[in-house]
Structure 1
Amino acid sequence: MNIDTKYHGTVTVKEEDIIRFPHGLPGFANEKRFVLLPLADAPFVILQSVDTPALGFVLIEPFSYFPSYEFELDEATVEQLEIESERDIAVYVILTVADPFDNTTANLQAPVVIHVRQRTGKQVILTNTAYKTKHRLFPDQVAT
C-alpha cells in the first residue's frame, strides 16, 4: 500500500511492516498504525503514522547515545505486548530535533517499545525514575 509521509513523500509499505499501537500514543490515542522508516544516512528512524501523513516522530535507539540507560517494564506492558524475552523487543526514544542540531534532546522518560515479531508497540511512561523528557544527545546532560 502507498502512504504519504512527513519526511519521505509517498512510500510503499507492506501490511506486515505496520506496527500496531492498540492504545495509540500519549496525546495521539486515535493513531494506532505506524511504520518505521529509515532516515537517509543517519542513525535515526521515523515512526510514521500510516493514517496521518503529517504525523512522524524522529526516533533513535537510545543505548548507543546513553550507554547506561536501563529500565524495567511494568507487568501490564509485558502482558499487553506478550513479551517473553528481551530479544522480543526493540526500544526507541523520541527526539525533539533542535536548531542547531547539537541542542537536540531525547525523551528517556517515555521509551517506545516494539515487539518485533508481533508488530505491536507501546510508548511507556516511566515512573519513579530520574529520566526526563529532555536529555541532550550532545553531551549527555539534561537540557533546560
Structure 2
Amino acid sequence: MQVATHLFGTVDVNPDTILQFPQGLLGFEENHRFQLIHEESAGSPPATFTLQSLDDPEVAFQIIDPTALGFEYEVELSDEETEALKLASLADVAVMVVLFKEEGKVGVGTRSPLLINVRERLGMQKVLPQIKPKVMLTSLSTGV
C-alpha cells in the first residue's frame, strides 16, 4: 500500500510491517499505526529510524536504540503491559528512545522509552517515574 508522508513523500508500506501502538504515543494518542523508515546506508545499519504515523502524515519521530548512546535500560513490565505487548519472550522486545530538538539542540526522551514486540509488531510507550540508566563512557580525550 502507498502512504503519503511529510518527510519522505509517498512511500510503499508492506501491511505486514506496520507497527501497532494501541494506546498511541504521549500527546499523539490518536495515532496507532506506524511504519519504521530509514535512509539506506552502505553496509552499516542505520543510526536512527523515522517512526512515521500512518494515521497522520504530519506525525513522525526520530528514534534510536539507546545502547547506541551508551544507555542500557532495566524496565519492569506489569502483567498488564506484558499481556498488552503479547510478550512470550523478553528477547522479542526492542527498546527505542525518541530524539527531539529543543533550542537547536538534540535531546533524548530517556524517561519514556518505546517498547516494541518485534515478533508481534506491537508497541507501547512506557513512562518511567525515574530512570536508572547505566551510562558507559567508552572514550575520554582527557584524563579525569
- Provide the residue aligned with 1:10 in structure 2: 10
Relative to 1, partners in 2 of residues 1:130 and 1:81: Cα closer, same or farther, differing over 3 Å?
A: closer
Normalising by structure 2, we get a TM-score of 0.80
Among 100, 106, 126, the residue aligned to 1:104: 106
Tell which deviates more after alignment, 67-76 or 86-95.
Answer: 67-76
Tell which deviates more after alignment, 41-50 or 90-99.
Answer: 90-99
- Is 1:70 the counterpart of 2:74 in the alignment? yes
Structure 1 stretches lacking a partner, 5+ long: 132-144
- Provide the residue aligned with 2:87 in structure 1: 83
Relative to 1, partners in 2 of residues 1:12 and 1:22: Cα closer, same or farther, differing over 3 Å?
A: same
Distance apart, 1:70 and its partner CA: 2.9
- Provide the residue aligned with 1:123 in structure 2: 125
- Provide the residue aligned with 1:50 in structure 2: 54
Task: Supply the distance in 2 between the matched residues of 1:76 and 1:116 (Cα, whole angstroms).
Answer: 18
Which structure is larger by alpha-carbon Rg, 1 or 2? 2
Are the aligned partners of 2:66 and 2:72 in contact in 1 as well (CA < 8 Å)?
no
TM superposition outliers: structure 1 runs of 4+ over 4 Å: none
Normalising by structure 1, we get a TM-score of 0.80
Give the aligned residue type for 1:86. L
Count of aligned residue pairs for this structure pair: 129
Are the aligned partners of 2:38 and 2:49 in contact in 1 as well (CA < 8 Å)?
yes
CA RMSD of aligned residues (A): 2.0
Distance apart, 1:99 and its partner CA: 6.7
Task: Supply the distance in 2 between the matched residues of 1:5 and 1:12 (Cα, whole angstroms).
Answer: 10
Give the 3-state SS of the residue equivalent to 1:77 in structure 2. Answer: helix
